[in-house]
Structure 1
Amino acid sequence: MNEWRVIDTGFIGAAENMALDKTILRVVNEKKSPPTLRFMFFDKPVILVGYNQNVADEVKVEYCIENKIPINRRITGGGAILMDRGALGWELVAQKDVLPKGPVENMYKLLCEGCVNALQKLGVDAKFRPHNDIEINGRKVSGSGGTEEGDTFLYHGSLLIDFNVELMLKTLNTPLEKLKDKAVDSFKERMTWLSRECNSVPKVDELKESLTKEFSNVLGFNFVYGDITEYEKKQYNDNLNYFRSDNWIYQNIRKKKKEYHSSIYKAAGGCIRTYLIFDRNEYISQAVINGDFFVYPSRLLRDFESMLKNCRVKDIESKTNEFFNAQKWEIPGVTPADFITAIKMAIVSE
């Protein structure tokens, strides 16, 4: 078995964590450090946008500045998130030859399984949700994503131990805002955290130990506790000012702010309310679907929203039909064609 280094960099700031991401990825790729599992924490609430996102689209910048909530940018893609002291971050950095062959979804599944297994060993009924989420009772408790440099990958995730829903809604632009007074409840239908789900919440040290063992099992490595090397410290110090700079944080700025597209469509079984955000008018980056109809199983629409994320606009019809054909479901008076119509109406809305 390969030997991996396990490090815990403690509670530090947003720029510091992002600079460490880049440093460890680069140095492992240079083969000057071993494959690494890092546990990371944030010393205060921070907003992290995905590498390809526009800050103005995703973040309520004025509120964050007024309330001294740092904004930064990950080196990985994905959506904007709130991280605070109630979230445990984990990341794996190693050569790509340890990963399964085939599409990137194979990597997502394998690495998320490590986290799922770790939670299950602690008595938490966690499950993998394609493409790259972990859920408890149908609600997302952990998201993940990755990037690469040379022949090395970095894959990281956030595990919510506790969470401040109200602060998230104050700091991030989200379709759930459109639900006004129902926003908090609508968010809680979709996401959760360990302190909400567990009678006895695992301690952070228990979570780290279980994660280390289960990542070791799925990837086949022996772990050795270590620390940042002197070479990494130099690289980190050289990078840190850049990750604090506006050039890093506010790149990808567009003059026009991203708009929500919405529709209300009356099907036989009730109204379908659809809220969408697009990336470059080609992909759906966020989708929220609600209505006054009855859905069996109750989690069906949450899974449908997950499927729509990153779906090409031109593939909406085929992907929707494929989704509903792949499982058992009942929505009296509402058909897949109704959802397709509702989504298409939202796409062309102003």
Structure 2
Amino acid sequence: MRETWYFLDSGYGTPSFNMAMDEVLMNWHSEGKIPPVLRFYGWKPAGISVGFFQKVGGSIDLENADKYGVELVRRQTGGRAVLHDDELTYSVLVSEDHPAMPKSIKEAYLVLSKGILEGYRALGIPAEFSIPEEKKKQAGSAVCFEEPSWYELMVDGKKAAGSAQTRKKGVILQHGSIPISMDIEKLFDLFIYPNEKVKERARRAFTNRAVAINDVLEQPVTFDEVKHAFKEGFLKGLDIDLEPFTPPEEMLREAAELEEKYKSEEWSYKREGRQKV
């Protein structure tokens, strides 16, 4: 008999709300109030999420972020910065003790990312898992979509989706970015490079390393079409049933309270100070 998880379609949210809701869901699942959850959401306005341990100063161009109307938020998971614009973002919250969840972070990625793999296939995109040569040396760039990690999704040798995972309060939180289209000029305007020559070289190289859904489809798809495909993908890839979940008022109040943390400069800049370049 297949297990039933909650499915929460949050629609579009602000960067602070999106991160706050993931944390609330983690808390509620940790307390046994809700079963495992699959959540889908988008970003309005667009946001840059920086990794939990990442420094903002010297890597993010805050002046350009303001100019583009892109909000910065620090997420609970590690890794490098991600621009969330025209994309579907997913999050999965499941107990570390769940019988289907390996103890190894790398192997848990494989289990959870099967849903993403099947989502691409539902769109007719021949995706596959990346298996880097013993985790290639980290590039000096602050941009997340530079190199694939273990079991991230690749299309024609290019990184198609990026995910990050943390484990807190006995719960695995894995969330990730599934780009529908990418504005590469905007993306590279949001990060700091030593000079324009280096920036242009990085931008040209990026097009050979990353790809969005509508780059590979003959007929572009919408946000709602992508949601439908990836919902089917998680049903198949994780072999689960999904029950629609509407957050109760108590949960929404907790998310609103946590939003204040994610909006704060103390959280987002980790006491670095807001240094514009």
The verdict on a shared fold, with TM-score over 0.5 as the criterion, is yes
Q: Percent identity over the alignment?
A: 25
Please give the per-residue CA displacement for 1:301-326, whole angstroms capped at 9, x wherever unaligned.
xxxxxxxxxxxxxxxxxxxxxxxxxx
C-alpha separation in 1, matches of 2:29 and 2:235 = 18
Q: For the aligned residues, what is the CA RMSD?
A: 2.3
Q: Is the 8 A contact 1:54 1:252 kept in 2?
A: no
1:22 aligns with 2:41: no
C-alpha separation in 2, matches of 1:175 and 1:126 = 34
The alpha-carbon distance between structure 1 residues 175 and 11, as it changes in their structure 2 partners (threshold 3 A), is farther
SS for the counterpart of 1:253 is coil
1:196 aligns with 2:197: no
Alpha-carbon distance, 1:218 to partner: 3.3
The alpha-carbon distance between structure 1 residues 178 and 79, as it changes in their structure 2 partners (threshold 3 A), is farther
Q: Is the 8 A contact 2:46 2:69 kept in 1?
A: no
1:125-136 map, 5 Å: 125-130=126-131, 131-136=150-155
Q: Is the 8 A contact 1:53 1:252 kept in 2?
A: no
Which residue is equivalent to 2:118?
117
Structure of larger gyration radius: 1
The alpha-carbon distance between structure 1 residues 154 and 176, as it changes in their structure 2 partners (threshold 3 A), is farther
SS for the counterpart of 2:57 is helix
Which residue is equivalent to 1:93?
93
C-alpha separation in 1, matches of 2:194 and 2:251 = 40
C-alpha separation in 2, matches of 1:176 and 1:218 = 44
Alpha-carbon distance, 1:175 to partner: 8.2
Q: 1:140 aligns with which of 143, 155, 159?
A: 159
**TM-score, normalised via structure 1 length:** 0.68
C-alpha separation in 2, matches of 1:251 and 1:112 = 30
Task: Specify which structure has the higher proportion of helix.
Answer: 1
| Count of paired positions | 255
Please give the per-residue CA displacement for 1:88-133, whole angstroms capped at 9, x wherever unaligned.
1011111121444342111111211211122113210111113142
Please give the per-residue CA displacement for 1:280-315, whole angstroms capped at 9, x wherever unaligned.
xxxxxxxxxxxxxxxxxxxxxxxxxxxxxxxxxxxx
SS for the counterpart of 2:58 is helix
**TM-score, normalised via structure 2 length:** 0.84
1:220-239 map, 5 Å: 220-239=239-258
The alpha-carbon distance between structure 1 residues 184 and 30, as it changes in their structure 2 partners (threshold 3 A), is same
SS for the counterpart of 1:239 is helix
- Structure 2 portions without partners, runs of 5+: 132-149
C-alpha separation in 1, matches of 2:32 and 2:71 = 33
Which residue is equivalent to 1:217?
236
1:68-107 map, 5 Å: 68-84=69-85, 86-96=86-96, 97-107=98-108
C-alpha separation in 2, matches of 1:255 and 1:242 = 16
1:173-322 map, 5 Å: 173=192, 179-251=198-270, 253=272
Which residue is equivalent to 2:168?
149
The alpha-carbon distance between structure 1 residues 30 and 166, as it changes in their structure 2 partners (threshold 3 A), is same
C-alpha separation in 2, matches of 1:9 and 1:117 = 21
